[in-house]
Homo-oligomer: A and B are copies of this chain.
Amino acid sequence: MVTIKDVANMAGVSVATVSRVINETGYVHADTRKKVESAVQQLNFKPNEVARSLYKRKSRLIGLLLPDITNPYFPQLARGVEDRMQENDFRLIFGNSDENKQKEMDYIQTFIQNNVVGVISSTNYPDTDTYLKLKIPVVFLDRTLGDSPSVYSDGREGGRLAAQEMLARGSKRITIMQGPAHIRPAQDRFQGAIEVLEESGLPYHIIRTSSFSFHDAESSAKELFHKYAGTDGIIASNDIAATAVLHEALRLGLKVPDEVQIIGFDDIPLSRLLSPSLSTIRQPSYEMGREAANLLIQLIEQTNVANKNIQFPVQFVERDTTRKVD
């Protein structure tokens, strides 16, 4: 390993001087600078981030905590975060929490032990001590808590939208899939949809699901048609659930969207490639990831941040699992 000392030796100066030139801090004569730069080049010297981190008590590392990268919604978020962080030379320590508090706390712990300068977390437990006592900035992604920095989308409005569009397209016996109880955004959507359906006065059913996994999506879909065979409109808890529902509906020989309409949530990339393509409530996940990263960077660099709570609008994406209206 080539150290600052090696560079200093080769350039015939002290380590202090080398440090000055690589950090562009303090005065240094043009000639010496040249000598140093040349030595840096020849030796291909790259400063040891660990030593830097130790001295400065801060690294260029960011902790990113997501429930499960295997859920197609999250890669978009992750990618948005990464791209933005990359631009400012921050690196990501990444972990899956499985919505498990303990796992999450353990990760936060090791983030700290590694001197990360900020955390982006998609957590169900934002009001835990661990977060509240953190001395570094945290941005909650896809989750909120009071006026803590956060980036999220308007789940409730999304739920409302889904229900409205479904009603506007003539479904009369709607079934709503209620996502996992401990996942806030899932409940927001659910509430939004319920609100609109209550206002409408029409009957509706509810199917509870306990996770966002592929496996559970399939069984929930089966359960749904088994219990509520007469349903003519399904508001799914996310696009995976919707895909499973669509799959099951077609398997049962139902016509989509003529006999059953389906609306998903998220707009994951595959949704438009389904057949029929999936109508859904879109969250701009990539942009949300980017924005979360952006917000965190501002927080880290102590820039004045006008708005620490960034809500993204959701949007109905009309495709082929819903009927057309004039």
Q: A70-B76, A93-B61, A273-B217 are in contact. Are A113 and B54 (CB under 8 A)?
A: no
Q: A46-B113, A115-B50, A247-B274 are in contact. Are A70 and B59 (CB under 8 A)?
A: no
A313 at the A/B interface (Cβ < 8 Å)?
no
Oligomer: number of copies: 2
A21 at the A/B interface (Cβ < 8 Å)?
no
Chain B residues whose CB sits within 8 angstroms of the CB of A99 once the complex forms:
none
Q: Which of A46, A64, A91, A92 has the most CB of B within 10 A?
A: A91
- In A242-292, which residues have CB < 8 Å from any B CB? 243-244, 246-247, 250-251, 269-270, 273-275, 277
* Chain A contact residues: helix, strand, loop or mixed: helix
A187 at the A/B interface (Cβ < 8 Å)?
no
A33 at the A/B interface (Cβ < 8 Å)?
no
- In A175-200, which residues have CB < 8 Å from any B CB? none
A82 at the A/B interface (Cβ < 8 Å)?
yes
A-B contact pairs, 30 of them (CB 8 A): A1-B57, A46-B109, A46-B113, A47-B113, A48-B54, A48-B113, A49-B115, A50-B114, A50-B115, A51-B54, A54-B54, A69-B69, A69-B82, A70-B76, A72-B269, A74-B75, A75-B75, A82-B94, A82-B95, A82-B96, A92-B94, A92-B95, A93-B94, A214-B273, A217-B273, A218-B273, A243-B270, A246-B273, A246-B275, A250-B275
In addition to A69-B75, A74-B75, A243-B273, 7 A-B residue pairs with Cβ atoms within 8 Å of each other are: A1-B57, A59-B114, A60-B110, A68-B79, A94-B94, A244-B273, A246-B275
Binding site for B on A (CB under 8 A): 1, 46-51, 53-54, 57, 59-61, 64, 68-70, 72, 74-76, 78-79, 82-83, 86, 91-96, 109-110, 112-115, 214, 217-218, 240, 243-244, 246-247, 250-251, 269-270, 273-275, 277
